[in-house]
Each structure stands twice: as structure tokens, then as C-alpha cells.
Chain A
């Protein structure tokens, strides 16, 4: 997995609440058996019309935001299905961080597995960053994971919380499975105990 340390990038404003995973990547794109190539279909139904032409009003179709690496969005981003195709599509498009007041649980976890940093901030901070994002491509935000801060293009900094273990994995690009396998002895012990206490499992 790619390491995430600091990011200076263009942020796109998506001031909608409850952006669900069907919006992020509609189901017709879940038919792939690969992880890559989903970026062109990110937000497909909001981004393209029935004939497949770009809808000019959609933020990621505007020149200023075509290279956005950060999204600033309304409450409850990523609600709905467990499809990891949602973070795969974001990542493939080039999005490395999403900022919102809240995220759905499974989506939130899925982000970390793919090197994407979801950042939870209070409403006031998201409001400021949403305004900042509306300024277009000259307004670059800075995300510093080590320091746990997001800084607007005006230099206003906001601190965010992040789980220490998740931060460690992200900063070092670590593979969860490898880390867990180092604890195989604990799992062996648990399984041995389980076969005695609850043999029907």
C-alpha cells in the first residue's frame, strides 16, 4: 500500500449529505473482478448524462477540479453498501483524502485499507474548508497526517483525531494481513481453546 504522510492538493466541494456508495460507484461497475480502472466511473450517474457525456455542472467535470485529490463533503459520507469499489474508485481517480463531519462505518474502514485518509471535523471546520474548496484550483489544502492537521489555503489549521493504529499503518504503508499474521500464535491459542469450549463452532 502507498504511504500517506503529507498531501498538498486541490480540494473539490461536494456539499451534499448522505452521499451513498451507490452514488460513488453505481452497481453496474461492481461486475469487475479487479480493483483498478474504476476512476472513470466515480460518481458516474452524477458525472455523466444518459448518453455518457459529461454533465458540466458536476464539480469533478470542471477544469479546476479534474485533478482534485481531496473531497470536502456533507454528513454521513459513504453510507450504504460495503462495496470497497467505492474507495477503489476514489483512489483510481486520484482522491487521497475525504473530509466530512461523519462517515459510514464500513466505508471509513475501507478507506484506510486503500491508503485513503478520511478526516472527521466539526461542522464549523467543514464549513470553512467547504468555502475554501469552492475557490478552485489555486486553493490548495495541506494535510499533515503526522501532525494531524488540515490547513486551508488561507493558512487556517484544524486538528483532527485519527486512530493510532490506523495512522501507523497509513504512514508506513503497512499491510494489515501481514501484521495480523505476526500474531498467529494468539489465534492458534484461541482456536485451541474454542474447540474445547464451543466445539460446535
Chain B
């Protein structure tokens, strides 16, 4: 048998039909659904008299447009459009008989945090969701990617997707990370190097010692942003850490099924002489704590650098960089550590897990946020929130002056009332710094949870290595 990559293996195990031109029907093992990209798909099913083919493989949770403030079990405490979307998901879940975690359920949270937490996401699976950050689930050695609403409808109706195979891109992070450097710094550094379109047409496999050393949480952070590099998916080969994380989860297999599953999962790695269409290698020791300065996730620099000038770039990027600098209100040559911020957002499917909250709380222990700073922590799920409360992290955040919110996407995309006002500048642990992403005219700097926590205290972008 010819050598295969991990992606090749999972792909081959899911082809339900292949046409002569290579167009395949890829079988979908898990379909995750949320309130913003699904109403039109369910409506489409109703209009054509179709049903959900595999409701037992379909899991729904409201997250994008829910308030993260207390009292949200009562729709009266939601904005009108939130209430409409959440009510639509409630009734669609009931009508079509799919698994559902309503806002009142402690297991509710960001769909990409809930899937792994509940054991829906397992190695070797195909996982899709009408959300681009579905790539997160690749951390388990699952082939996971975002789809549009028409494709959501297609998966609901047929449990398959029409797909052509992508190319294989290997991103290897060799050696060990230096102190203060996190999974977020890895993933941002990769995008800084390859660009936001660098991964277009590829599925990325992240590998190398620094990736192996990451916890499952860290691996999810890395895969989460594969889409920001343009890739269809990011994936990491499963290992003992992965199995350990999955074991005992509510929907993970048990008994003989578990043993059979693990036996198969252990075959899921790229063969030594597998073919790669592109390879990117980065030494872990060259990765510094980074922040973004512009309005594209590729606008990444080490925190020790200065704000760049448009002239530092080439081609279409010159104009784009100038536009970014204007939008961000930054002057070339300013040290990044002199940039003052007024808002801090810790949360999102990139960095809203327990380990992220621990890292931020570690920085904040016994400290207070700067006067006038607006800072919030939005845990990724109700269970993360409960665990953080049990570990005493919530108290650290609250004593430092952070708001302690309920789970949801919140200020990551600012559909709910958690938004930046024009000109406000935010240190965010989320994944997109686009113009207006966190509110019209709002300015976003992406970074790790520890860096965001440090910035909350100093009021400026801060090198976490210098922070004490």
C-alpha cells in the first residue's frame, strides 16, 4: 500500500461515493449546529419535505448570539433578534429530534468547546459545522472544517458533503518552546509566516516536538486558527494524551467499543514517506510571544517589535498595511509595548478553555486591572465556568476587576451587546482582528490569555516575560 498522510487516511475512510472526476461524497460523522447559520437550512428542509438523515449524529447549541449576562434563560432578557434565533434553534432541535444543549443547560457553551467536552469529537472522525472555526476539532486527529448554510442543509439531509480532496501541508514545529510562549503564539506565528491565503487549498497537519508537548487545550488553540491561514482544516495526529482526554467523556465509546476505537486511532498518523505538497518548518525556540498590530491575522509581530510601516511590505499588501495602520490608529516606529489599550476580552473558541483561564488567572493573582479598564472573562462553556469557580479562578478574576460572564461567543464577534465602541482598543484572546469584528470602529490586538491578562494590569500591550 502506498504511504499516506493522516488526512489521506481519514479521507479514505469516509468516501461514500466517488465520481469519475474525483468529486466525492464524504460521510460526516458529527454535525454541529448553532443558531446563526442554521435557521435557513432547517427552513430549506421544511420547504422540500426533507428530514434530518442522522439526528443522532447532529448536535445543536446556541452560542454566537446569546447574551452572556445573568437571566438569559428568560428570552425577555435577550435582544429581539437573539430571542428569535435561539427560539428557532429550540424548536428546530425538537422538531428534527437532534441533541440539544439549551442556554439553561450547564453544558451549553461555544460549539467547538462543547463538542470535545461532551465526547462528540473523537479521533478519525469527520466533523463539520456552519462555522469556520470547526478546524478546532482537528486537535483530536479528526478531519474538521467549516461549511456554509447550504452545506449545512446538505449534511442535515444526506449526512454527506460534496468534496474534492485538498492538498497536504505539513507544518512542523521543531524543538521546545521558550518560557512565556504558548500555543496561541505558535498558531499566530505560522499565519504570520504563511499569510492568510497561504493555506488555501490545503489541509494542514501540525507536527513536531513542540506540538506533541502541547496539552489537548493547546492543540485546539493551534488547530482553531488553521482557517485564518486559509487552510480547509488543521489536524494533529492523536496520541495517548488524546485518548486520555476522550476517555470517560459522556459520548465516548466504552468497553469493547473503546478498545476497538483506540486500536484504530493508533493507526492514524502520517506514514514516514508520505507525500507532502508543501512543508513549512519553524523552530520552536524562534517563536516569541506575539501580538497582531493590523486588521488581518497575518499582521503578527513579536511583542518586542515596533509598529511597522506600509513601506515595509510589497504588492497589494502596501495599501492594505496603510489601511490597517489608519484603522488601528497606530504610528509606524512606535514600540508595540507603548500601545495603550482600554478593553480586555478573554474567551472564545481559541482561548476559552480551563487551561487558558488558569494561565490568565496566574498573571492576575493579587493584582488589579488598570483604572478605567473594561475587562471580561467569558468562559467557553458552562462546565469550564463551573470548574474555574471550583478552582478559585473566578475569584481571582473578580478581585482583579474582571467581569465574570456566562458562556458564549460574546465579544469574539460581538453579535450580542458585548461590543467595542468606535476607537476602543482591545487586547483579545480570540482569533480575528478584522475591521469592525468586535464592534464598528473597534480595534483588536490578538494575543495569548497570559498576554491579555498582563495588558489588563498595565494598560498597555505587555511582554508577559517582563511582567511581575
Is A176 in contact with B84, judged by CB distance below 8 angstroms? no
Question: Known: A82-B147, A163-B164, A190-B16. Is A105-B232 also a contact (CB below 8 A)?
Answer: yes
What residues of chain A lie closer than 8 Å to B414, measured between beta carbons? Answer: 27
Name the residue on B nearest A105 (C-beta).
B232
Question: Known: A30-B415, A81-B132, A84-B37. Is A180-B162 also a contact (CB below 8 A)?
Answer: yes
Is A102 in contact with B154, judged by CB distance below 8 angstroms? no
- B-contacting 9-mer, from A4-12, A54-62, A108-116, A136-144: A108-116
What residues of chain B lie closer than 8 Å to A45, measured between beta carbons? Answer: 435-436, 440
What residues of chain B lie closer than 8 Å to A114, measured between beta carbons? Answer: 150
Q: How far is the CA of A180 from the CA of B435 in the complex (A)?
A: 38
Q: How far is the CA of A190 from the CA of B161 in the complex (A)?
A: 14
| B387 contacts chain A at the CB level, 8 A cutoff | no
What residues of chain B lie closer than 8 Å to A184, measured between beta carbons? Answer: 158
Is B148 in contact with A110, judged by CB distance below 8 angstroms? yes
What residues of chain B lie closer than 8 Å to A189, measured between beta carbons? Answer: 16
Contact mask for chain A residues 57-69; partner B; CB cutoff 8 A; 1 contact, 0 none: 0000000000000
Contact mask for chain A residues 93-117; partner B; CB cutoff 8 A; 1 contact, 0 none: 0000000001111100110011000
Is A200 in contact with B158, judged by CB distance below 8 angstroms? no
| A132 contacts chain B at the CB level, 8 A cutoff | no
Contact mask for chain A residues 14-50; partner B; CB cutoff 8 A; 1 contact, 0 none: 0111101011001110111111000000000100001
Cβ contact of B23, chosen from A17, A26, A165, A201, cutoff 8 A: A165
What residues of chain B lie closer than 8 Å to A23, measured between beta carbons? Answer: 434-436
Is B200 in contact with A102, judged by CB distance below 8 angstroms? yes
| B345 contacts chain A at the CB level, 8 A cutoff | no
What residues of chain A lie closer than 8 Å to B434, measured between beta carbons? Answer: 20, 22-23, 80
A181 → B minimal CB distance (Å) = 6
Contact mask for chain B residues 223-254; partner A; CB cutoff 8 A; 1 contact, 0 none: 00000001010000000000000000000110
- A-contacting 9-mer, from B105-113, B315-323, B363-371, B457-465: B315-323
Q: How far is the CA of A127 from the CA of B245 in the complex (A)?
A: 51
| A51 contacts chain B at the CB level, 8 A cutoff | no
What residues of chain B lie closer than 8 Å to A15, measured between beta carbons? Answer: 316, 319
| B282 contacts chain A at the CB level, 8 A cutoff | no
Is B230 in contact with A31, judged by CB distance below 8 angstroms? no
What residues of chain B lie closer than 8 Å to A35, measured between beta carbons? Answer: 40, 149
Cβ contact of B197, chosen from A28, A75, A109, A183, cutoff 8 A: A75
Is A187 in contact with B16, judged by CB distance below 8 angstroms? yes
| B339 contacts chain A at the CB level, 8 A cutoff | no
Interface residues of B, count at CB 8 A: 74
What residues of chain B lie closer than 8 Å to A110, measured between beta carbons? Answer: 148-151
- 64-122 of chain B: CB within 8 A of chain A: 64-65, 81-82, 84-85, 88, 122
Name the residue on A nearest B131 (C-beta).
A82
What residues of chain B lie closer than 8 Å to A103, measured between beta carbons? Answer: 200
| B405 contacts chain A at the CB level, 8 A cutoff | no
What residues of chain A lie closer than 8 Å to B253, measured between beta carbons? Answer: 199-200
Is B197 in contact with A82, judged by CB distance below 8 angstroms? no
Name the residue on A nearest B48 (C-beta).
A177
Told that A76-B200, A183-B16 touch, could you supply 8 new A-B pairs with CB distance under 8 A?
Answer: A16-B316, A33-B43, A75-B197, A105-B200, A106-B148, A183-B17, A187-B25, A198-B264
Question: A residues touching B (Cβ–Cβ < 8 Å)?
Answer: 15-18, 20, 22-23, 26-28, 30-35, 45, 50, 74-76, 79-84, 87, 102-106, 109-110, 113-114, 163-165, 176-177, 180-181, 183-184, 186-187, 189-191, 194, 198-201
**A-B residue pairs in contact (CB < 8 Å), sample of 11:** A17-B320, A35-B149, A81-B131, A82-B130, A83-B37, A102-B197, A104-B230, A106-B146, A183-B16, A184-B158, A187-B25
